[in-house]
Chain A
Amino acid sequence: MLDGSVKVGDTHELQLVDDLTRTQIVQYAGASGDYNPLHTDSTFAMNVAGYPGVFAHGMLTMGMTGRLVVDLAGPEGLLSYGVRFKAQVWPGDALTAKATVTDVSDGVASLDVVTTNQRGEEVLAGTATVRVPA
């Protein structure tokens, strides 16, 4: 959790997953209620939708990245969290999230948040604001 010593330029990193499984994608479908067969049904993903296979829900990547954000914010110190999905995440991918403090003012820290895959490609990029205890 961030505290009063936080300063602009500080970075925090978290490995989110080192080998994303199809089963984890199924778990996310079941928990979230998003059963789009693109994410869990390779027959549909390949033969109907024309993708090389199933891929993760963007919201699974955002949810996993949220672990780093909430580590920094504390369970109830999060003010905002928003992302763009930049590239698809596939079974077998390894993801790492990195947060960089871009501003600290009036008890609020602003963060840039980026999640990259094992090839260094950004799959998600966004921002968050969190309350910083004095």
Chain B
Amino acid sequence: MAVERFPIEAGHIMLFARAIGEDDPVYYGAMSGDGPVPAPPTFVQASAQFDPDYFLRPTIGEKWFGSGKTDSGTAAEGSGEDSATKDQGKAVGSGLHAEQHYTYHRPLRAGMVLSATTRDGEKWEKQGRRGGKLMFGETITDYTDQNGELVISARSVGVRTERVVEQEG
């Protein structure tokens, strides 16, 4: 993932604050006109909106793996049991977010423009209690501002399993 331009917008912060149940008026400056508007601590996750290739967002004109006419839109129409595409849905469905870590270098506020660069970190495997083999992978993302200053660094750990996970990882 690389995000070239992630504008920090007061309206977007307001929507994010609502979604996490945060009612502190400082996050609602888009409506009140007050500022500065700080970003909640996990707000940079919403940079996905500005990643042109983000795979967990439907792409206009392309089939989406969620349900529509069929249980998974990437299953061939009428077949209902296209094993290759069902497996694709399963593969996405079996990936879970295991850990997320942020280090804050400078305050993030509406009006800033970030860019994000991402690189792979370590990979490792573990035997799960119920879900078969667990495959972990780290992703490191640096968010820098329009002056090239590091604002937030993030480390994400994802886990994939051979079978559906129940409260694992």
Contacts and interface: CB of A to CB of B under 8 A. Distances in A.
Contacts of B38: 75-76
B107 interface: yes
A49 B93 contact: yes
Contacts of A17: 21
Tell me which of B41, B64, B100 has the highest count of chain A C-beta atoms within 10 A of its own C-beta. Answer: B41
B57 interface: yes
B98 interface: yes
Contact of A34 (B56, B89, B164): B56
B48 A58 contact: no
Interface stretch (B12-20, B110-118, B119-127, B139-147): B12-20
B169 interface: yes
Nearest to B89: A48
B38 to A, nearest CB: 4
Nearest to A38: B93
B164 A84 contact: no
A60 B64 CA distance: 23
Contact of B19 (A30, A35, A82): A30
A59 B90 contact: no
Interface residues of A, number: 48
Classify the interface of chain A: helix, strand, loop or mixed: mixed
B67 A81 contact: no
B71 interface: yes
B41 A44 contact: no
A125 to B, nearest CB: 10
B167 interface: yes
Nearest to A40: B66
A73 to B, nearest CB: 8
Interface string B52-73: 0010111000001111000110
Interface in B69-94: 71-72, 86, 89-90, 92-94
Interface in A71-104: 75-76, 78-88
Interface in B1-45: 12, 15-16, 18-22, 26, 38, 40-42, 45
Given A33-B57, A38-B93, A44 B65 contact: yes
Nearest to B66: A37
A114 to B, nearest CB: 15
Given A16-B21, A88-B166, 11 more contacts: A31-B12, A31-B18, A37-B64, A47-B71, A48-B86, A50-B93, A59-B42, A76-B107, A79-B104, A81-B104, A85-B100
Across chains A and B, which 8 residue pairs bring their CB atoms closest together, nearest first?
A: A49-B93, A82-B101, A37-B66, A63-B20, A33-B49, A33-B48, A43-B67, A27-B19
